[in-house]
């Protein structure tokens, strides 16, 4: 018998590719769209050395170090620094966007920013209060900015005197306090470190107002790929990496022994430098978890321990493996006194359930104020989430995605012989339809019911109907437990109920013809994009639980570059939509197309382009099926 041998190096490459993720679109200026480094000869040499040496060795302990992170599920992200003091204001003027980007947005010279640092005196800071707030919300790990893009170290650094102990009126090390508090209360602890952006250092990328350096808003020296177009400038950036970035990262590792390190904006440095930094980390600490935004490159190269999806998500694009999303309570990561766009407790409860149902973690951001306290609006959100977690903890932690297909009313998680139904849209008629089950339900009850009173179950073929109270026990996410004799099995076809609205997201559609991309999942950009050819189409296959009449609503994003015509086909029924170019970009369009009668059984909805007369047909958000009697 002939045996096919696969080289170890090839296995490693496939492993990295499978763990990679093509990243979603992100905001211009504050975030980078792809965060990918272009692979060059220089980069390939570093890749080869890693795959044949230290990185290959680090994979041996990957499962061991990532275990706690997988179990944690929910963490607190904290952006706190000198920028928290002005809180989105500079010289009496409101500064829009991310408050932590104040220095870049206002082009504040380093000496002037240092004067701001001298005023930073957060005397109301209390590490134990911060950690207890996180723990009470159900969070199991905490990550804070040890150094953000402004280059200012929020700890007692011996590498650079540009730090909180030597340059502020406070002269205190809050990282030491937080590390101790996390240990006391049982939370894992870690640091965000801005390794590629550093606006104070004369050799680092980003500051083009003081130093005329590459990597900034002016796109000097060739813009994004400056290190390939002007390799002579790379010597400066390497000096910064050698003299500040790597020494400070090692300092954090040896002084505080964090459980996790979190990085961002890798595209500001060449891939080769990012790999060197990861190598230095692995040589210093083999057990620390490293996120996926340090080493990313062509062909979905990713050398972190897990993947990072888009920032500030409302929905999640398809992703496999270990992943983490980073919502924030409002729209800024750093504290902004002007940003009152805080989401509801229900939004975050549902987002946590959605992440758990897809096998991901949620790292929720808080931006403390310059005096060291949390905004009262953030505290209210944390308390609300904590109250829900206290009642429903087992439906999130230690769970994994269930085999049930997507359901109209919400999402599902699973642990051992139990499936948890997270019901976002409670059926007013008291009939919760569960489609796709192949295993009989042994028992069902409301998770918050301490008496575990059984809910009546009526099962026929692959449809189970639970008799539930007419009033939802929780308007954000009411959890029902299904218990089975053995492991539950299910059909993979999505199920449509006729007594609640269904959202068919573009993220969950079958995409045909290639070339599509995903938006980053924000409230206005959870779309399928790059619909540029008539050979491309979108479809959803689903099972109708019971016959019903539905209103059909199409939601998409239009812009000056989107125009064309599409048809929506459901069996013999055909609807048409003319997509018109809009004057402004990212205009959200919601169009009721008509009504459709759906019979019980398997049905497919297709969206097919008739013509595309501009760059793109549309950016598809979702198709909604709303019971006609609602």
Query: Rounded mean pLDDT of 231-245?
Result: 96
Residues 452 and 535 reside in one and the same domain: no
40 and 148 belong to one structural domain: yes
Query: Helices then strands (H, E): number in the chain?
Result: 15, 32
Token pair 């790929």: residue: 225
Kindly state the average pLDDT of the residues 133-155. Answer: 98
Lowest mean pLDDT among 22-26, 187-191, 365-369, 395-399: 22-26
Among 355, 371, 392, identify where a domain stops: 392
For residue range 427-449, list pLDDT tens digits in order: 999 999 999 999 999 999 999 99
State the total domains in the chain: 3
For 59, phi and psi rounded to 5 degrees? -65, -25
418 shares its domain with 549: no
Look at residue 220 and give its three-state secondary structure: helix
Write out the E strands in 476-532.
478-483, 494-496, 502-505, 510-512, 517-518, 528-529
What is the DSSP-derived secondary structure letter of residue 551?
E
Q: Which of 30-39, 498-507, 526-535, 613-622 has the lowest mean pLDDT?
A: 30-39
3-state secondary structure 104-169: HHCCCCHHHHHHHHHHCCCCCCCHHHHHHHHHHCCCCEEEEEEECCCCCECCCCCCCCCEHHHHCC
Average pLDDT over residues 17-44: 50
* Cβ atoms of 108 and 152 closer than 8 Å: no
Give SS3 for 35.
Answer: coil
* Structural tokens at position 552: 């059909």
User: For residue range 534-574, what is the model confidence (pLDDT) as tens digits?
Assistant: 999 999 999 999 999 999 999 999 999 999 999 999 988 99
DSSP β-ladder status, 431-435 and 517-518 = unpaired
> Rounded to an integer, what distance in angstroms lies between the CA atom of residue 463 and that of residue 408?
13
| Mean pLDDT on 492-513 | 96
Residue partners of 2: CB distance under 8 A and separation at least 6: none
Query: What pLDDT is attached to residue 531?
Result: 98
Cβ proximity of 439 and 484 under 8 Å: yes
State what percent of residues in the chain have pLDDT above 90.
Answer: 91
Same domain, 125 and 252: yes
Q: Where are the alpha helices (DSSP H) in 225-334?
A: 226-229, 234-240, 246-256, 271-284
For residue 213, how far is the Cα from the chain centroid? Answer: 30
| pLDDT at site 298 | 85
Report the 10 Å Cβ neighbour count for 351. Answer: 20
Tell me whether residue 5 is in a domain: no
The better pLDDT of the pair 41, 280 is held by 280
Domain-located, residue 11: no
What's the pLDDT score for residue 25?
33
Note the pLDDT tens digit of each residue in 60-97: 999 999 999 999 999 999 999 999 999 999 999 999 99
At 5, the pLDDT band (50, 70, 90 cuts) reads very low
130 phi/psi in degrees, rounded to 5:
-60, -50
Mean pLDDT, rounded, for 195-201 = 98
pLDDT score recorded for residue 39: 52
54 pLDDT higher than 80: yes
Beta-carbon contacts of 227 under 8 Å, excluding residues fewer than 6 positions away, are 214, 233, 234, 237, 269, 270
Rounded CA gap, 304 and 291, in Å?
5
pLDDT reported for residue 24: 34
Say if residues 497 and 433 touch (Cβ distance below 8 Å).
yes
Label residue 22 by pLDDT band (50, 70, 90): very low
Q: Are residues 190 and 146 in the same domain?
A: yes
pLDDT of res. 385: 98
Domain holding 265, by residue range, is 34-392
Provide the pLDDT confidence category of residue 505 given band limits of 50, 70 and 90.
very high
Indicate whether 28 belongs to any domain: no
Both 52 and 142 in one domain: the answer is yes
pLDDT value for 50: 96
Calpha distance 620→129 (Å, rounded): 43
- The residue out of 446, 466, 492 marking a domain boundary is 492
3 has a pLDDT exceeding 70: no
When pLDDT is averaged across residues 344-371 and rounded to a whole number, the result is 98
Please state, in angstroms and as integers, the Cα–Cα distance from residue 559 to each residue in 18, 584, 623, following that order: 34, 6, 19
pLDDT of residue 460: 82
Q: What are phi and psi of 143, to 5 degrees?
A: -125, 130
The confidence score (pLDDT) of residue 341 equals: 97
> Could you tell me if 594 and 475 lie in one domain?
no
The pLDDT assigned to 96 comes to 95
CA distance 338 to 121: 21
Burial 111-123 (b: 16+ CB within 10 A, else e): eebeebbeebbbe
| C-alpha–C-alpha distance, residues 246 and 228, integer Å | 22
Q: Domain boundary at 392, 415, 442, which?
A: 392
In whole angstroms, what is the distance from residue 429 CA to residue 447 CA?
Answer: 20
In a domain, 534, yes or no: yes
Segment 586-592 shows an average pLDDT of 97
Residue of 218, 211, 88, 196 lying closest to 148 (CA atoms): 196
* CATH label of the domain that carries residue 525: 2.60.120.260
User: Looking at residues 576-591, what average pLDDT do you find?
Assistant: 97
Together in a domain, 340 and 376: yes
C-alpha torsion sign, points 621, 627, 629, 630:
negative
Q: What is the reported pLDDT for 6?
A: 35
Both tokens of residue 557? Answer: 């994003």
pLDDT in tens, 272-329: 999 999 999 999 999 999 999 999 988 889 999 999 998 999 999 999 999 999 999 9
For residue 255 the two structure tokens come to 């002084």
91: domain CATH number is 3.20.20.80
Q: Is residue 246 part of a domain?
A: yes
| Same-domain pairing of 256 and 278 | yes
Evaluate whether residue 29 is within a structural domain.
Answer: no
* pLDDT for position 23: 33
Residues 531 and 595 reside in one and the same domain: yes
Asked if residue 32 has pLDDT above 70, the reply is no
Assigned domain for 12 exists: no
Q: Each residue of 468-495: pLDDT tens digit?
A: 999 999 999 999 999 999 999 999 999 9
Buried b (16+ CB within 10 A) or exposed e, 11-23: ebeeebeebbbeb
Looking at the DSSP bridge assignments, the partners of residue 590 are 555
Antiparallel, parallel or unpaired: β 141-147 and 74-78: parallel
* CATH (domain of 469): 2.60.40.1180
**What mean pLDDT comes out for the span 28-34?**
47
Answer with the residue of higher pLDDT: 10 or 379: 379
Looking at the fold, whether 270 and 201 belong to one and the same domain comes out as yes
CA distances from 463 to 410, 481, 491 (A): 16, 17, 11
Same domain, residue pair 104 and 197: yes
Residue 16 in this model has a pLDDT that exceeds 80: no
């Amino acid at each position: 018998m002939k045996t096919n041998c696969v080289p170890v190096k090839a296995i490693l490459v496939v492993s990295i590719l499978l763990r990679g993720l093509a990243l979603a679109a992100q905001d211009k200026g504050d975030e980078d769209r792809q965060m990918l480094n272009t692979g060059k000869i220089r980069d390939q040499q570093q890749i080869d050395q890693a795959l044949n040496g230290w990185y290959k060795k680090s994979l041996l302990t990957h499962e061991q170090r990532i275990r706690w992170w997988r179990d944690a599920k929910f963490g607190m992200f904290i952006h706190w620094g000198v920028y928290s003091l002005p809180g989105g204001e500079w010289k009496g003027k409101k500064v829009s966007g991310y408050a932590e980007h104040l220095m870049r947005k206002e082009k504040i010279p380093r000496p002037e920013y240092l004067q701001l640092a001298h005023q930073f005196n957060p005397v109301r800071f209390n590490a134990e209060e911060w950690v207890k707030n996180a723990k009470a919300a159900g969070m199991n790990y905490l990550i804070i900015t040890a150094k953000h893009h402004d280059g200012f170290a929020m700890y007692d650094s011996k590498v650079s005197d540009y730090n909180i102990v030597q340059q502020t009126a406070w002269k205190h090390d809050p990282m030491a306090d937080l590390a101790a508090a996390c240990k006391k209360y049982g939370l894992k602890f870690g640091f965000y470190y801005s390794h590629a952006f550093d606006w104070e250092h004369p050799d680092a990328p980003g500051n083009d107002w003081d130093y005329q350096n590459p990597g900034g808003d002016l796109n000097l020296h060739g813009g994004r790929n400056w290190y390939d177009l002007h390799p002579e400038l790379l010597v400066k950036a390497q000096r910064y990496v050698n003299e500040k970035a790597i020494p400070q990262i090692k300092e954090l590792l040896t002084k505080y022994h964090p459980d996790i390190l979190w990085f961002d904006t890798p595209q500001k440095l060449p891939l080769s430098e990012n790999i060197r930094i990861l190598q230095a980390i692995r040589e210093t600490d083999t057990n620390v978890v490293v996120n996926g935004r340090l080493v990313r490159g062509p062909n979905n190269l990713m050398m972190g321990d897990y993947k990072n999806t888009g920032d500030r998500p409302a929905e999640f694009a398809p992703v496999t493996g270990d992943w983490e999303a980073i919502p924030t309570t409002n729209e800024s990561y750093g504290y902004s006194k002007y940003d009152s766009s805080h989401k509801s407790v229900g939004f975050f409860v549902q987002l946590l359930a959605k992440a758990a149902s897809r096998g991901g973690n949620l790292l929720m951001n808080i931006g403390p104020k310059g005096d060291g306290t949390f905004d009262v609006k953030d505290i209210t959100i944390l308390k609300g989430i904590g109250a829900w977690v206290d009642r429903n903890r087992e439906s999130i932690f230690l769970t994994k995605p269930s085999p049930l297909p997507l359901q109209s009313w919400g999402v599902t998680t699973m642990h051992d012989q139990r499936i948890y139904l997270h019901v976002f849209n409670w059926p007013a008629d008291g009939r919760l339809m569960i489609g796709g089950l192949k295993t009989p339900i042994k028992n069902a009850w409301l998770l918050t019911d301490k008496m575990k009173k059984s809910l009546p179950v009526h099962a026929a073929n692959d449809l189970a109907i639970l008799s539930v109270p007419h009033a939802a026990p929780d308007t954000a996410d009411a959890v029902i437990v299904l218990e089975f004799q053995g492991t539950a099995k299910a059909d993979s076809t999505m199920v449509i109920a006729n007594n609640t609205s269904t959202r068919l997201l573009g993220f969950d559609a079958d995409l045909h013809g290639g070339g599509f991309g995903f938006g980053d999942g924000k409230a206005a950009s959870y779309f399928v994009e790059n619909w540029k050819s008539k050979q491309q189409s979108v479809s959803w296959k689903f099972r109708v639980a019971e016959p019903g009449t539905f209103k059909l609503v199409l939601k998409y994003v239009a812009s000056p570059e989107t125009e064309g015509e599409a048809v929506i086909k459901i069996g013999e029924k055909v609807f048409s939509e003319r997509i018109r170019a809009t004057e402004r970009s990212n205009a959200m369009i919601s169009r009721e197309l008509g009504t459709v009668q759906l019979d019980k059984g398997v049905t497919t909805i297709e969206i097919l382009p008739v013509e595309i007369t501009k760059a793109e047909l549309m950016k598809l958000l979702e198709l909604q099926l709303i019971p006609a009697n609602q």
